[in-house]
Structure 1
Amino acid sequence: MADEMVQRAQRFINTTYGNGATLGISKLEEDGRTSWTVMYALTRALQYEMGISGLSNNFGAGTLAAIAEKYGKLDASTVPSANFCRILQSALYCKGYDGGEIDGTYNSRVQEAVAKLHQNMGVSSTYPGGALWPKTVKGLFNMDAYVTVNSGSETIRSIQQWLNGRYVLRKDFYVIPCDGHHSRDVAKSMLYAIQYELGMADGTANGVFGPGTQSGLKSHTLSTGSSGVWVQLFTAAMVLNKRPVSFSSSFTSSLSSSVSTFQSFMHLAVNGQADFRTWSSLLVSYGDQTRQGEACDGVTKITPARAQALKSAGYKYIGRYLYNPSTTDLPEKEIQPGELATIKEYGLRCFPIYQTWARSVDYYSPAQGVADCANAAYKAEEHGFKPGSRIYFAVDYDAVDEEVTSHILPYFQSLRAQMTRMGSPFRIGVYGPRNACSRISDAGYAETSFVSNMSSGFSGNLGYAMPENWAFDQIVTKWIGSGDGRIEIDNNIASGRDTGQGDFDAPPAQKQDIGFDLSYWDALADEATAYMKLIGRGEQSNNIYTRRQCLETIMSLDDVITSTARRYRMRKALIQTTAFWEFCHYGKEDVTADGGVGLYYTGYLPDWAEGLPGVTRLQDSSTGVGQIQGRIGILAWNNSIRAGLADGTVLDPADVSPNPDADRYKMWIQLLEDNAFNVRTVAHIHIWGADGKQGDVPETPQRRPALDYDETEIYEVLRRYQGPSEPAFSDATLRMPLYRIFEKYNSAIRGA
C-alpha cells in the first residue's frame, strides 16, 4: 500500500538530486513504497551532504566514522543543513515514523520519532532524548524493522532489544533488527555477546566461534539455581532455537527439563545443564565438532580396508552417491561395483544421495525435478537399493529464502509428484541447509533431512533452528583409518530417523529397460499401428480412439511403465503390449458400462455419462487404459501387497455395498481416473497371473515376469491377463507379434 510521506521522500530525492544523477543512481519510482532502492538512495544522499567522495549503497565504516567525527550526534544544533535534515526525515518516514513535514527542521516531531525509534531498538537507556547517534543512524538507513512484523515473536523481540541495549556501545556491535524473527544478524550478535561477557576486548571479539570462545564457554556450565547474564544469554539461545522457554536470568527446574528435551533432540548427553556441547549446538549449526558421529558420507569407494576402518571408528551408516555425470571428476563418487556388498559384509548400512550439479539456483526447476526423480530411481535400482529406500536429493549451496520459494520448492514438489506417479518406488529425503530442509519438509515434499550444518556461514543455517525431522547432522570433514583403510569423510551425527539399507538386491544379469528414445517414435508408431490394422483390431465402428491415439496415450506413460518394469525386473514390453491392446479395444459400450458403475455406487450419473443411452446400474466394469475391473485390480494388488512387493491396504473384492466407500468402487474409480495407476496395475495383474491368480479361477503358478522370460512364459502371462478361456488363447497368439515390436525398440534403446 502506498504511503504519501514515503512518496514525498522519493520526490524529494528526485527533485533535489537531479532525478538521481547527482547520486549516481536512476530516478526513483514515486510509488510510496519503502525498498532497498529507496534506502540506498537516501544513504547516498547522506554521504553526498557530508562531502564523502565515492558514493556507495553501503552505510559502512567510513560513513559511520564521518558522522561521529563531524557531528558526534545529530540534533537540532548539529544537523549541518536543511537537506541533511530532510534526508533524516525521509528515512524516518521510510521506517514508519513521523518525521515531520520533510521541511528540513529538526523539530519536536523529529525528536519524538527518534526517541520512539530508540525505544523500539532497545537503546533508549543508552541514548536518551531525541538525538540520533552514529549507530542508530546506521540502523535507520536500512530495511530492518524494530517492531514485530510477519507474526514475529515478542519474546524474540525482547531478546533483540536486550542485546542492542546491553552491547550497542561496543565497537563492533551494531543495532540489530527487533522484528521478532531470528536471523543471520541476530545469530552473529549472540556470538559477539558471548565474547564480550567472556571479557574479550574490542577488536578481539569477532563474532566467530573460534578456539577462544569455545575455551571460555567450557567454564560457563549452568544448571538449576544459576542466575545472571549468562542464564539470559543461554535462555536467549534456547528461544532463538525454537525451544519453549522464557527469556530469563534464572535457571529453573522447568528450564532444565526443556534443556534435557533439546539435548535428546540433538542427540547430546542428557543432563539438563547448559554444558559446552549444548551451548555449541545452540550457537552454531555444526555444534561441537569433536563429537563422534555414527554416520558419514563421502566420495570415496568403500573397500574392505576402509569398511573395517569405519566400523572400528564407530560408524554404522554410510552415505554414498547414486550417480556421477562426470567421467573424470571424482571417479569414485558414484557407488562402485561390489561396494554395497562390502558395506553389507562388514555389517554397515548405506543411505543413497542424489546430486549432479545442484550448486546454484539455476539448476532447480519442475522439469529438472522430473528428470532427477527418474534418474535417481533408475540408478537406485541399478545399484541394488530395495523399494522403499530413502534417497536424499541435494540442495548443495547457500540457498536464500527467496530462492527456496521461487525455485527449490517447485523442484521438490515436481520431484514428489513424479515419484508418486511412478508408484513411489523410493522415498524422498533432502540434503541441504536448515531453512531449505525445513521448508521442503514442512511442505510435505521430503520425509527426513540430511542437514549440511558444516556450512555454518550459510544464510540458510545462520538464524535457523534444526529441522524437526533431521536424520543426519553433517558437522565436520575428517580422516579415518590408516594405510589402505585411510579415507576422508564428512562426520555426521545420526538421529535414528533413517538407518539406511543393510541388504541389497543383486544386480540383474540382463540390462533393464530405460526411458523411450523419441527418435524411434515414428518407426514404432507406424509398425505397431500397421500390425493392429493388419489383424483388424482397433478403429472399429464402436471404438472411441484411433490406434495412433491409443499408442500415444500408452507412450505418454513411458516414465511410469519404465519405472514399474524396472522395479519388478520385468520387460516393459509386457506392460506396453497389454495396455495398448486393451486400449485399442476401448469402445462406446465401455463408456456406457462405466457410467453404470458410477450410478450404482454414487446414485447419480457422472457428468461425462449424462445422455448416454442404455445406462444401467452395474457393480463393476473393465475400465481405463488397461480395461481392468475393480475386482481384478483388488485381487492383483492384494497379491503383491501380501507378497511384500507393494505397499498398501488389502481390500475386499466382495465389498460392493452401493456407496462410494465400497472397496470395489475405490479401486475401480482409481483405475478409471488415474492412467498411471492403471498401467502400474497391469504389471501387478501379470504378477498375480503368474502366481496362480489366487481369488479367481486358479492357474498353475509359473515364474514371475522376469527379464529373461522365454516365448512360452511371455505368451502364458499375456494369455492369463484375459482369462482361462477363449478368446484369451487366440488373442494371446495375436499379442505375441505386438510384444516383439515393442521389445525390438526397447532392446535397441537399452543396448541389448
Structure 2
Amino acid sequence: MADEMVLRAQKFINVTYGGKLGIEPVAENGITSWKTMFALTRALQYELGITTLSDTFGPTTLNTLQSKYPALNAGTVPSANFARIIQSGLYCKGYDGGDIDGKYNSRVSASITRLKLDMGVDSAFPGDSLVPKVFKGLLNMDAYVTVNGGSESIRAVQRWLNGAYLNRRDFNIIPADGHHSRDVAKSMLFAVQYELGMADGTANGVFGPGTQSGLKSHPVATGDSGTWVRLFSAGMILNQRPVEFTSTFTSSLSYAVSAFQSFAMLPVTGTGNFSTWASLLVSYGDQSRNGEACDGITLITPARAATLKANGIKYVGRYLTNPVPPENDQDPLRHKAIQPGELKTIADNGLRCFPIYQTFGRNASNFSYPQGRAAGQSAINAALDHGFKTGTRIFFAVDFDALDADVTNSVLPHFKGIVDAIADDGNRFGIGVYGPRNVCTRVGEAGHATASFVSDMSSGFSGNFGYPLPANWAYDQIVTRTIGTGDGAINLDVNIASGRDIGQGSFDAPRTPLPDTNLSSSVISAMRTDVGKYMESIGFPNDGGFRSHTHEECFRRVVLEWDTVTTYLAYKYKMRKALIQTTAYWEMRHIDAVDLSVDEVVRDTFLTTGYFKDSSTGIAQQFGLTAALAWNYAIQNGYETGEIRDVTNAEAKYNIWNKCRFDEQFAMSTVPLIHLWNAGGAPGNAIPEKPLRPISLDYTESEIYQILRRYQGAEGTEATEHAKQRTALYQIMEKYNSISRNV
C-alpha cells in the first residue's frame, strides 16, 4: 500500500539529486523498496563528499561517516538535506520522520531513540544520536519489529546479539524481525569468535579450524551459566527448538538438547558438546562424524563394497541416469549412473541402495511442471530398467541455491509434475527430494515428497543458512571423503542416516535394452489416456480447442495407424519409437487454421509464379528445405537410397514439400531422417548445430532433449520451451513402448 510520506521521500530524492546519483530516478509510488534505499545511500555518500557512489553502504561510507559525524543529532547534523535523508529513511522504515523539512526535531529524535530500542542497541548507544552503524541499519530493508509471524524468541536473540557485539569492528546490525536468516547465522559465528577472544580482523564469521578448536574447549551442561550458555540457547532457538533464551543451563534445557540430539542423530548426552554446537551453528555440523550412508559417482565394485562395510556404511546412493554421455574411458563421470551388475554387487555385499534422479538442475529454468512430468516418468523408466522394485523411494535432485521465490515459482510446480507422473504410473515408486533445507522443507510441506536428502554440505546456500533440518530428513550430506586403499579406495559424500529411508537390498533382473516392437494391445488405452492428460495439463484440451485436430485424432493417426511403420523405422535407424511418435503427435496437435491457410498460399504462389516460399506442412509440420536436406543426408550416409535433391531448385523443394503435405507415410518416414540429420549437426541448414553422437537406443536425456528441440528450431527460441514439454511427452510415449517391448 502506498504511503504518502514515502512518496514525499521519493520526490525529495528525485528533485534534489536528479542526475547526481548515477542512477535512474526512483519510482514515485509511495512504496519502500531496495531502489529507494539504494538512492538514499547514494544521496548520503554524495553529502559526505564521496566521489564514487554505490548502492552499498560499505566500509568507505561507514568510515567516512564515523570520521566526520560519529554522532548525528540536532546539534551536529551538517545540513538540511542531510537531515532530510535521515527523515526519509525513517519513513521508509515505518517510523515518524517529521515533515521531511530538514530539521532534526523532537519527532526525529524520538524515532531514532525508538529505532535503537527496537534494534536492541539502546544500551550500547543511549540517547537520540544517530551513530554510523545505526544509520547503516536505517538505510536497508531489514525490519526491527516482528513481521510475517516472526518469533519473539528469535527476535530476543537478534536484539541481544546487536546490543552485545555492535561495538566490534566487523559486526553490523542484523534484523530484529523474528526470523532466522543468513545474516543472523553469521552473526552467531561472529559472537562465538568474539567470546573465544578473537581480535577484530581475525574474527570473520566462518566456521573454520580456530572456531572449531575453541568450541571444543567450551562445552556447556546442566548447572553452567553465563554467556556461553546464552549463546548455546540462542542456537537452539534459531534451530526452532522449544527452549527459553537463557544464560542458565537448566534441566529443561538439557531435556530439549537430548531431543535435538536424537532428532539429528547425534549422541544423546543432554549437554552442549562440540558436535551439538556444530549442528546448531552450521548446516553440515561436525564433519568428523561417520555416517551410515553415502552417495557418489563411483562404481561400487566388490572391493569398494567391502570398504564401505568396513566403515559402517549401510546405504549407498547411486544415480539412475547420466544425462551427459561420457567422453571417454577417463571421463570422471563415466560411472555416474548405475552400471550393469552394480546393484547385484551392492546386494551381495549386504548393502542397500537408494536411487537418485538428477539431470542438470543447476538453476530455476530447469524446473517447471512439464520438466517435472518428464523427470518423474524418466525416473520410473530408469528405475525399472535397473530392477528397482515397487515401493522404492526415488530422490529427485534440486542442486542449486534456490531462493524462496524459486521454490514457489519453479521447484514446487516441478514436483507437482513428478507427483502426477508417479500417480499416473500407479504410485509404484515413492518420492523423495534432494536439496537445501528450505527446498526440502517446502516440498515436503506441500505433500510432494515423503523424505528429504539434505545437501547440508553446501553450507553457503541461502536455503541452508538459517533454516533448520527438515522434519522428514532421511539422509544428511555433510562432507566429501576418500576411504579405503588400493582397489577398495572410494571417494564419496558421507551422509548421516535417520532411518526414514533404507533403500533397497534386493532387486529385480534389469531390463535389457531391446529394440522396440509394435505396441501391445494391453497398453493402448492407458497410453491414450496418459498422453491426453499430460497435454491437457499444459494447455491442450482433448477436444482440440482452437486447433484443427483433437487428441483422439492425433493419437489414432500418428501413434496407432502408423505403429507398424514407426516400429520398422525405429528398428532400421536404431532409435527409439518414442522419438518419432512424440515429434509427429506434437506437431499434429499444434496445427491450426493459420497453418492450413498458409499451405494454400504456398501452393497457389508456386503454381502461379514458380516462386516457392517454404513453410511447415503436413501431419509432422515439415519444411520443404528441411525434408530435402534430411533425405540428402540420409542418402549420403547410407541410411537411405535414392537421388540427391537440388536444394537450390524451387520445384525440387516444392515437390518434397507437397509430398510431406499429402503423403502421411512419407511424412512419418521423414521424421526419423530429420532426427538423424539434426544429430549430425544439420549440415546445410542456415543455423548449423553441434554434432551429437549417432542416434542409438541408449541416448541420454540431454541427447533426447536436443533431438526434440532441433526438430522445431534453434536454442533460445520457442523451440527451447517446447522441447521441455516435448521431453515429458517423450517419457510418457517411452513408458508404454518399454512395456510393450518387455512383454
TM-score by length of 1: 0.69
Q: Does 1:488 align with 2:491?
A: yes
Which of 316, 319, 329 is residue 318 of structure 1 equivalent to?
316
Relative to structure 1, is the Cα distance of residues 485 and 131 closer, same or farther in structure 2, using a 3 angstrom cutoff?
same
Shift of 1:512: 8.2
Q: Does 1:503 align with 2:506?
A: yes
Per the alignment, residue 466 of structure 2 pairs with 463
Letter in 2 for 1:30: E
Shift of 1:414: 1.7
Work out the CA distance in 2 between the residues paired with 1:493 and 1:60. Answer: 40
Work out the CA distance in 1 between the residues paired with 2:551 and 2:216. Answer: 72
Contact 1:67 1:73 in 2 (8 A): no
Relative to structure 1, is the Cα distance of residues 260 and 16 closer, same or farther in structure 2, using a 3 angstrom cutoff?
same
Per the alignment, residue 377 of structure 1 pairs with 380
Q: Does 1:132 align with 2:105?
A: no
Work out the CA distance in 2 between the residues paired with 1:514 and 1:300. Answer: 34
Relative to structure 1, is the Cα distance of residues 269 and 514 closer, same or farther in structure 2, using a 3 angstrom cutoff?
farther
- SS of match in other structure, 1:88: helix
Shift of 1:78: 2.0
Per the alignment, residue 397 of structure 1 pairs with 400
Q: Does 1:440 align with 2:443?
A: yes
- SS of match in other structure, 2:462: coil
Work out the CA distance in 2 between the residues paired with 1:205 and 1:31. Answer: 42
Deviations 1:21-71 (A, max 9, x none): 221111221111001011011111111111111111011111000100111
Per the alignment, residue 57 of structure 1 pairs with 55
Q: Does 1:185 align with 2:188?
A: no
Per the alignment, residue 476 of structure 1 pairs with 479
Per the alignment, residue 38 of structure 1 pairs with 36
Relative to structure 1, is the Cα distance of residues 200 and 514 closer, same or farther in structure 2, using a 3 angstrom cutoff?
farther
Deviations 1:511-554 (A, max 9, x none): 386999xxxx9xx99xxxxxxxxxxxxxxxxxxxxx99756578
- SS of match in other structure, 2:197: coil
Per the alignment, residue 172 of structure 1 pairs with 170
Q: Does 1:198 align with 2:201?
A: no
Q: Does 1:388 align with 2:391?
A: yes
Identity %: 62
Contact 2:352 2:505 in 1 (8 A): yes
Q: Does 1:238 align with 2:241?
A: no
Per the alignment, residue 608 of structure 1 pairs with none
TM-score by length of 2: 0.70
Per the alignment, residue 370 of structure 2 pairs with 367
Shift of 1:3: 0.6
Work out the CA distance in 2 between the residues paired with 1:360 and 1:103. Answer: 47
- SS of match in other structure, 2:283: coil
Work out the CA distance in 2 between the residues paired with 1:179 and 1:440. Answer: 25
Relative to structure 1, is the Cα distance of residues 75 and 339 closer, same or farther in structure 2, using a 3 angstrom cutoff?
same
Which of 329, 338, 343 is residue 341 of structure 2 equivalent to?
338
Which of 296, 299, 316 is residue 298 of structure 1 equivalent to?
296
Work out the CA distance in 1 between the residues paired with 2:121 and 2:261. Answer: 34
Work out the CA distance in 2 between the residues paired with 1:371 and 1:386. Answer: 20
Shift of 1:746: 5.0
Contact 1:475 1:493 in 2 (8 A): yes
Q: How does 1:715-730 map to 2 (within 5 A)?
A: none
Work out the CA distance in 2 between the residues paired with 1:15 and 1:70. Answer: 26
Relative to structure 1, is the Cα distance of residues 5 and 510 closer, same or farther in structure 2, using a 3 angstrom cutoff?
closer
Contact 2:511 2:742 in 1 (8 A): no
Relative to structure 1, is the Cα distance of residues 111 and 485 closer, same or farther in structure 2, using a 3 angstrom cutoff?
same
Contact 1:223 1:273 in 2 (8 A): yes
- SS of match in other structure, 2:20: coil
Shift of 1:401: 1.1
Per the alignment, residue 17 of structure 1 pairs with 17
Q: Which is bigger in relative contact order (C-alpha 8 A, separation at least 6)?
A: 2
- SS of match in other structure, 2:222: coil
Work out the CA distance in 1 between the residues paired with 2:158 and 2:340. Answer: 54
Larger radius of gyration: 1
Per the alignment, residue 672 of structure 1 pairs with none
Letter in 1 for 2:404: D
Relative to structure 1, is the Cα distance of residues 747 and 132 closer, same or farther in structure 2, using a 3 angstrom cutoff?
closer
User: Which runs of no fewer than 5 residues in structure 2 stay unpaired?
Assistant: 529-548, 561-576, 579-732
Per the alignment, residue 157 of structure 2 pairs with 159
Work out the CA distance in 2 between the residues paired with 1:484 and 1:515. Answer: 45
Per the alignment, residue 8 of structure 1 pairs with 8
Shift of 1:97: 0.5
Contact 1:454 1:476 in 2 (8 A): yes
Per the alignment, residue 409 of structure 1 pairs with 412
Work out the CA distance in 2 between the residues paired with 1:369 and 1:77. Answer: 62
- SS of match in other structure, 2:344: helix
Relative to structure 1, is the Cα distance of residues 276 and 746 closer, same or farther in structure 2, using a 3 angstrom cutoff?
closer
Shift of 1:452: 0.4
Shift of 1:406: 1.3
Work out the CA distance in 2 between the residues paired with 1:512 and 1:132. Answer: 76
Which of 256, 277, 285 is residue 283 of structure 2 equivalent to?
285
Work out the CA distance in 2 between the residues paired with 1:307 and 1:514. Answer: 38
Relative to structure 1, is the Cα distance of residues 10 and 257 closer, same or farther in structure 2, using a 3 angstrom cutoff?
same
Contact 2:438 2:463 in 1 (8 A): yes
Per the alignment, residue 257 of structure 2 pairs with 259
Work out the CA distance in 2 between the residues paired with 1:337 and 1:296. Answer: 20
Work out the CA distance in 2 between the residues paired with 1:200 and 1:555. Answer: 75
- SS of match in other structure, 1:352: strand
- SS of match in other structure, 1:259: helix
Work out the CA distance in 2 between the residues paired with 1:69 and 1:508. Answer: 74
Per the alignment, residue 656 of structure 1 pairs with none
Relative to structure 1, is the Cα distance of residues 748 and 227 closer, same or farther in structure 2, using a 3 angstrom cutoff?
closer
Deviations 1:657-691 (A, max 9, x none): xxxxxxxxxxxxxxxxxxxxxxxxxxxxxxxxxxx
Relative to structure 1, is the Cα distance of residues 514 and 484 closer, same or farther in structure 2, using a 3 angstrom cutoff?
farther
Contact 1:232 1:247 in 2 (8 A): yes
Deviations 1:99-141 (A, max 9, x none): 1100011111111110000000000011111111111011001
Contact 1:160 1:176 in 2 (8 A): yes
Work out the CA distance in 1 between the residues paired with 2:551 and 2:117. Answer: 71
Per the alignment, residue 48 of structure 1 pairs with 46
How many pairs are equivalent?
A: 542
Contact 1:239 1:245 in 2 (8 A): yes
Relative to structure 1, is the Cα distance of residues 398 and 503 closer, same or farther in structure 2, using a 3 angstrom cutoff?
same
Work out the CA distance in 2 between the residues paired with 1:402 and 1:548. Answer: 36
Q: Does 1:349 align with 2:352?
A: yes
Contact 1:224 1:253 in 2 (8 A): yes
Work out the CA distance in 2 between the residues paired with 1:420 and 1:234. Answer: 45
Relative to structure 1, is the Cα distance of residues 504 and 461 closer, same or farther in structure 2, using a 3 angstrom cutoff?
same
User: Which runs of no fewer than 5 residues in structure 1 stay unpaired?
Assistant: 526-546, 559-571, 574-741
Query: How much is the aligned-residue C-alpha RMSD, in angstroms?
Result: 2.7
Contact 2:437 2:456 in 1 (8 A): yes
Relative to structure 1, is the Cα distance of residues 103 and 556 closer, same or farther in structure 2, using a 3 angstrom cutoff?
farther
Relative to structure 1, is the Cα distance of residues 448 and 88 closer, same or farther in structure 2, using a 3 angstrom cutoff?
same
Per the alignment, residue 423 of structure 2 pairs with 420
